[in-house]
Amino acid sequence: MMKRILQATLFIIVSGMNTAFGQEAQDQALKLLIHPVYTPDVSTAVHKPLANYIATKIGRKIELVTPRDFHKYWLDTRAGEYYDLILEDSHIADYRRQAGTHTPLVRAKDDIRYMLLSSDPLVREPAHLIGLRISTLSSPSLGHQMLARWFSNPMAQPQILSNSKSWLDSVEAVFATDSDAAVVPSWIGKRYPNLTPVLESDPLPGLTLSVGNSVDAELRRKLQSAMTALDENSEDYDVLNELNVTGFVTVSPGDYEGLADLLKSLYSLKTL
């Protein structure tokens, strides 16, 4: 009899501990890392609607993480810093995919391209910019990686100004005559018809939301369903408007294959 009482008591204690631990995990916020294409304060304002939307749809708190710049962002990536969710460009999403730490879940419907814009209407090819100043975000942003690809000859290089805090900063540097050209996403570049387009990249998968290994299958399902439900007719359209995308789609096999190779122009890849 006493043995049964002890067994029942132990069962109640263990069940209570499991419930407590389960509730604690449920109450713990999921960390959402945002790539630093804005200053931290602006990034928080831009991505807060997304964080609130996700939290409402999956029933978990979301903590935004907004690094100060790409240098800090990349150092943390190389050091293996872990985040539950990451919103970033496709080349680094592929880097994490290859490392086995995160899986791309959804991506923006529209592909993204990058433009090289010049302040001089007579500049029609990259060679005309050798030795001149080109502003963009610091490495390993896609703008910087495009420059590395377009100017692959180490003896024929422009001056790369990578101190911009946002894509808009890169364009404003041209108008302020602090730079002769800029590399920015096409959705920004097309807003400035008074700048001369010199080059445009091939299309790449758009903004990508990846999930870490600790995110279970049920949460992934809820998250994927919530993100793909966002479209122009959604009552949460402001989320898309802030991100400058028209919606999200599930990731197809092969979408990201080889994109991490864009990083090889400056870095030797290794497992996280």
- Residue positions counted in the chain: 272
25-111+205-265 CATH: 3.40.190.10
Judging by beta carbons within 10 Å of its beta carbon (0-12, 13-18, 19+), is residue 18 exposed, middle or buried? Answer: exposed
The architecture CATH gives domain 114-200? 3-Layer(aba) Sandwich (3.40)
Rounded Cα distance between 244 and 229, Å, is 16
Residue ranges of the chain that CATH labels 3.40.190.10? 25-111+205-265, 114-200
Tens of pLDDT along the chain (272 residues)?
A: 555 555 555 555 545 555 444 445 557 999 999 999 999 999 999 999 999 999 999 999 999 999 999 999 999 999 989 999 999 999 999 999 999 999 999 999 999 999 999 999 999 999 999 999 999 999 999 999 999 999 989 899 999 999 899 999 999 999 999 999 999 999 999 999 999 999 999 999 999 999 999 999 999 999 999 999 998 788 898 999 999 999 999 998 788 999 999 988 654 334 34
Rounded Cα distance between 200 and 113, Å, is 7
Using the structure block, give the residue that is written with the tokens 């802030």: 242
The DSSP letter of residue 265 is G
From residue 270, alpha-carbon distances to 70, 139, 219 in Å are 18, 17, 29
The DSSP letter of residue 29 is P
Query: pTM, whole model, 2 decimals?
Result: 0.86
